[in-house]
Chains A and B, each alone.
Chain A
Amino acid sequence: MEKRPFENNRGSERPDIKGWGIDADPKNDPTYPYKHRNNGEHKGYTWERPPLQPVTVEVLHSNERPNITAVFGTTSPPTGLSGAIRRFAFKYSENSYGHWLPLLLADRVNAVEGVLDDIRHGHFPNIFAEKGYKGKWKHDPAGTAARIGMIVGVAALAFWWFTRDDDDD
């Protein structure tokens, strides 16, 4: 390990660094997030809310709040099996594994649904392109070859395992 002598000349200026010390502020305490505390929350959830976005898709909401927020995203509403799992997850609070673990499971199920959906629409997904292996190949051919070799190897092994003649019985 490089041994670097301790420098005890604290507070020295650094003229070589543009802007050194220009935001130094001995009163930067408390800093954010506490700095402009105004205790507004003592009055509860009473502020005048922005206009409410019309709810045009299914929006799941945390049971730790009473309502849907004034605006929200509308991408990919829950569908299929993954959607059912997500609806189940939202019965539990953000404090619970009952909320987060089903959501992670739903994400994995959703990925399979995505592939099936692609095929149903006549599009066989190009997994290698989606994984960015073209870019990886350009900058790391050895690593990419090893990776693809491993995937092909595992697939071949699995194929052999499931198609082999079972002499034992």
Chain B
Amino acid sequence: MLAMNYRGTRRVRVSQKPMPEILHPQDVIVRVTRSCICGSDLHLYNGNVPDTRVGTTFGHEFTGIVEEVGGDVTKLKVGDHILVPFNIACGTCVFCQQELFGNCHESNPQATAVGGIFGYSHTAGGYDGGQAEYVRVPYANVGPTIIPEGMDVDDAVMLTDVTPTGYQAAEMAGIQKGDTVMVFGAGPVGIMAARCAWLFGAHRVIIIDHVEYRLEFARQYAKCEAYNFRSLGDVVLFAKKTTDALGADVCIDAVGAEAAGNALQTITGRKTLLQAGSATALHWAINSVKKGGIISVVGVYGPTDNLVPIGNVVNKGLTIRANQASVKRLLPRLIEHVQNGVLDPKGLITHRIPLEDVADGYRIFSDKLDNCVKPVLIPPSARM
């Protein structure tokens, strides 16, 4: 079968790989119909996630048709068209029992600090991902969800990560009616977080980025204010000035390790890997929020250390909430929002790329070319 194949820093290609097999009684094998490239994949692509092995297939946002089921699979049958949450979750461990499906203790042997994730290095369990024609899906009774009748597959694939992550970013921020919400990052996740902030009753939603076309996209899609940090000068000063000198009620970090905007952070975090990615957005979030405010972090960082003004967190009495999105927990509500037309996840998709052109897809998304916001890969069999 055809599959994306990681060869080293910023080098990927498609090649023939053996078909995946059932390795556990709760596995299914899925024929992929859609598979996105995500901002999280850029951390792998840029070589920033330790234990990213050559030959691995990435891809944690995918839909597909069940082709084969393991002996203990009760909730799915051959032919079902499913959307697969990016987290691999057993459903029985104490963390899954608390609906922390992104923090499962039975899906990742290599690290205790993160649950299993499809196609996300050995630090997240060593699974091949969905940027392929076929993929193995473990714990098929827990995460995968049959795509509801009438739902567009492009909406479905956006429910595997981006929509729940953006929604959870707003939820964790504990937004109350009337709040001013400041979102750092106008990528797919940040734009969705800005859109969802309104659902929680935000009064003002402000998004910050430095890529003009994305700011314009965010203005239209999320109906929020959007500012370019390069022209603002000092973002934190702007945050204070625009909130009567008090600071935003909540700040959301939807950037993570690839952040630009501060030379020292970029050199230590992205060029030399002396810290676990550049923490510029988190730094700004901490300094832009009000005293007693809440920071919600969904931006992904590496497993070592980051330079952030933790003293200000103490002195301002801040609450930091962060997690990998618990996709399965949020799906019922989000499916409802999509079906009622409240949310329009597929509206974020700007590029539909044949799986065979995966290398160009990564480059276009990574370098922010051709006004790309969200690319989705389509395998040959799903194009017929």
Contact = CB atoms under 8 A, between A and B. Distances in A.
11 contacts: A1-B238, A18-B341, A33-B172, A36-B99, A61-B109, A71-B116, A72-B125, A75-B127, A82-B53, A132-B12, A143-B367
Contacts of A153: none
A37 B369 CA distance: 44
Name the residue among A21, A69, A100 with the largest chain B CB count within 10 angstroms: A69
Interface of A is mostly: loop
Contacts, number: 278
Nearest to B54: A114
A129 B359 contact: yes
Given A6-B242, A62-B111, A110-B54, A97 B304 contact: yes
A11 B178 contact: yes
A16 interface: yes
A18 B342 contact: yes
Interface string B359-384: 11111100101100000000000000
A14 B204 CA distance: 10
Given A50-B92, A71-B116, A133-B363, A1 B177 contact: no
A167 interface: no
A1 B234 CA distance: 10
Given A24-B200, A43-B94, A94-B112, 8 more contacts: A22-B342, A28-B171, A36-B98, A64-B112, A75-B57, A114-B7, A131-B359, A143-B367
Interface residues of B, number: 99
B352 interface: no
Contacts of A35: 99
A169 interface: no
Interface in A91-140: 94, 97, 100, 103-104, 106-108, 110-115, 125-127, 129-136, 138-140
B112 A24 contact: no
Nearest to B51: A103
- Enumerate the 10 nearest inter-chain pairs by beta-carbon distance, A residue then B residue, closest first: A135-B360, A132-B363, A111-B8, A73-B127, A73-B126, A24-B201, A40-B94, A10-B178, A103-B50, A19-B342
Contact of B54 (A12, A54, A76, A94): A76
A165 interface: no
Contact of B323 (A3, A21, A33, A115): A33
B201 A20 contact: yes
Contact of A54 (B23, B92, B200): B23
A70 B106 contact: yes
A74 interface: yes
A165 B138 CA distance: 61
